[in-house]
């Protein structure tokens, strides 16, 4: 007895710039002609769109064109949404012929950009569309990856998220607490285990497909070229440490932040910010496109070190009294760096002059203990 399968899928997997009103259509086939219609369950964007036990389409997927028709060796479906689609659309189909089960899924992108916020809270990865970020939005939050969704990750304890638009795909990288490796997902439909055997954190995926990530066991920053196309277990293509060229300010590595095409030393190279227990390092890398993916010629880069007050380094103070830089961000247009230290200080720095512009303490901020990490919209 053969396993049920999908055919004639539209829109096609991974396609982008799809019209927001385009219907979803496909066929479920079984060569043994014994597919059981009452087992068919279809989910769109994690919502139950069709329930085979009652043969009904649920709102808002019950438009006038929605249909369920027997065909040779299976059934044909058309799903007509009564409101426009937006962002990444995921479709999953479950069916059985009594002996074999179909669990299939695919995704595509409406329009050409993804505008969404992703965040982790200990219960998988959550997503909310930016057009739904006004007012009460709890009812529209979707769980797109967890240990029970399809595709799935083994644990729900996501500690850091990063993503980018790469070659027309919306690509996310996810690090899990205490887990050896991380996950790279395309358009919320294909997910790959990506690892070198160590605990990873703070992945940064640039628009050329290079993945930078902290190796927590070796206290290094690793670079993997072609992370959007090359998967599986492999050694990093380059490793940054306190003794590498360029080097990182000594101390435990606590944070990592990458900016596309912003290197001041090498045209269109990546700019990395690395926060450690003894300060911060800004690294100018050199990216070169070869063999269908981007090689980052990292060993040709150069680093600039920034000390914190009390760290004993020769650079000006960044603000705060603790040397541990736990988070970094930046505004490249104005050469601004934002640094958070473990004593809850937040500083705004002019990287041209290494001059402190603004400093905040935790009393000025709104802390939250429920959100582990967040990624804003992909542009």
- 79-91 pLDDT, tens digit per residue, is 999 988 888 888 9
Question: What confidence tier does 310 reach under pLDDT thresholds 50, 70, 90?
Answer: very low
The number of distinct structural domains making up the chain is 2
CATH number of the domain at 61, please. 2.60.40.1220
Q: Check whether residue 229 and residue 146 sit in a common domain.
A: yes
**Residue 292 CB neighbour total at 10 angstroms:** 9
Say what the pLDDT of residue 82 is.
92
Residue 348: beta bridge partners? 338, 358
Q: State the pairing for strand pair 346-350/355-360.
A: antiparallel
Reply yes or no on whether the pLDDT at 59 is more than 90.
yes
Q: Check whether residue 230 and residue 342 sit in a common domain.
A: yes
Q: Which of the listed residues 61, 79, 109 is the one where a domain comes to its end? A: 109
Reply yes or no on whether the pLDDT at 359 is more than 50.
yes
Q: Report phi then psi at 34, rounded to 5.
A: -125, 25
- Report how far residue 314's alpha carbon sits from residue 2's, in angstroms, rounded to the nearest whole number: 70
> Average pLDDT of the chain?
80
- Domain encompassing residue 61: 5-109
Say what the pLDDT of residue 119 is.
72
Q: Check whether residue 99 and residue 127 sit in a common domain.
A: no
Q: Check whether residue 87 and residue 35 sit in a common domain.
A: yes
| Whole-prediction pTM | 0.68
Q: Check whether residue 16 and residue 161 sit in a common domain.
A: no
Reply yes or no on whether the pLDDT at 329 is more than 90.
no
**Residue 111 CB neighbour total at 10 angstroms:** 15
Say what the pLDDT of residue 364 is.
45
Q: Check whether residue 69 and residue 184 sit in a common domain.
A: no
Say what the pLDDT of residue 350 is.
65
Say what the pLDDT of residue 76 is.
95
For residues 17 and 112, the answer to whether their CB atoms sit within 8 Å is yes
Per-residue model confidence as pLDDT tens digits over 142-194: 888 988 888 888 889 999 989 888 888 889 999 999 888 889 988 888 888 87
Q: Which of the listed residues 79, 94, 109 is the one where a domain comes to its end? A: 109
In the chain, the N- to C-terminal Cα span, in Å, equals 46
Q: Check whether residue 92 and residue 219 sit in a common domain.
A: no
Calculate mean pLDDT across residues 254-280: 83
Q: Check whether residue 152 and residue 299 sit in a common domain.
A: yes
Q: Check whether residue 155 and residue 105 sit in a common domain.
A: no
Question: What confidence tier does 196 reach under pLDDT thresholds 50, 70, 90?
Answer: confident
Say what the pLDDT of residue 136 is.
54
Of residues 141 and 244, more confidently modeled:
244
Say what the pLDDT of residue 39 is.
94
CATH number of the domain at 132, please. 2.40.128.630
Q: Which of the listed residues 109, 135, 161 is the one where a domain comes to its end? A: 109
Q: Check whether residue 242 and residue 278 sit in a common domain.
A: yes
Q: State the pairing for strand pair 232-233/238-240.
A: unpaired
Q: Check whether residue 95 and residue 132 sit in a common domain.
A: no
- CA atoms lying within 13 Å on the CB side of residue 9: 16
Q: Check whether residue 248 and residue 339 sit in a common domain.
A: yes
């Amino acid at each position: 007895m053969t396993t049920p399968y999908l055919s004639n899928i539209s829109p096609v997997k991974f396609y982008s710039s799809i019209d927001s009103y385009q219907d979803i259509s496909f066929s479920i086939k079984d060569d043994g002609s014994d597919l059981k219609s009452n087992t068919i369950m279809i989910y769109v964007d994690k919502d139950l769109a069709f329930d085979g036990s009652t043969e009904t389409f649920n709102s808002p997927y019950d438009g006038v064109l929605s249909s369920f028709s027997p065909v040779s060796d299976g059934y044909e479906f058309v799903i007509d949404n009564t409101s426009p689609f937006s962002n990444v659309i995921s479709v999953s189909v479950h069916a059985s012929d009594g002996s074999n089960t179909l669990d299939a899924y695919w995704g595509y992108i409406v329009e050409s950009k993804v505008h969404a916020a992703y965040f982790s809270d200990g219960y998988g990865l959550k997503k909310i569309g930016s057009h739904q970020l006004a007012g009460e939005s709890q009812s529209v939050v979707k769980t797109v990856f967890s240990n029970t969704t399809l595709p799935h990750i083994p644990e729900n304890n996501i500690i850091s998220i990063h993503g980018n638009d790469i070659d027309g795909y919306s690509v996310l990288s996810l690090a899990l607490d205490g887990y050896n490796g991380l996950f790279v997902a395309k358009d919320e439909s294909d997910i790959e285990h990506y690892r070198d055997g160590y605990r990873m954190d703070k992945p940064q995926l640039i628009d050329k497909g290079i993945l930078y990530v902290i190796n927590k066991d070796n206290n290094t920053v690793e670079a993997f070229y072609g992370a959007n196309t090359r998967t599986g277990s492999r050694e990093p293509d380059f490793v940054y440490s306190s003794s590498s060229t360029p080097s990182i300010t000594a101390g435990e590595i606590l944070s990592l932040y990458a900016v596309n095409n912003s290197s001041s030393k090498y045209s269109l190279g990546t700019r990395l910010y690395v926060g450690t227990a003894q300060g911060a390092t800004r690294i100018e890398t050199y990216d070169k496109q070869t063999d269908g993916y981007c090689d980052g010629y990292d060993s040709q880069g150069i680093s600039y070190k920034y000390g914190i007050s009390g760290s004993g380094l020769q650079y000006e103070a960044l603000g705060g009294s603790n040397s541990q830089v736990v988070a970094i961000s930046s505004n490249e247009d104005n050469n601004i760096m934002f640094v958070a230290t473990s004593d809850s200080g937040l500083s705004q720095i002019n990287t041209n002059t290494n001059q402190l512009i603004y400093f905040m303490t935790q009393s000025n901020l709104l802390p939250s203990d429920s959100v582990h990490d967040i990624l804003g919209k992909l542009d």
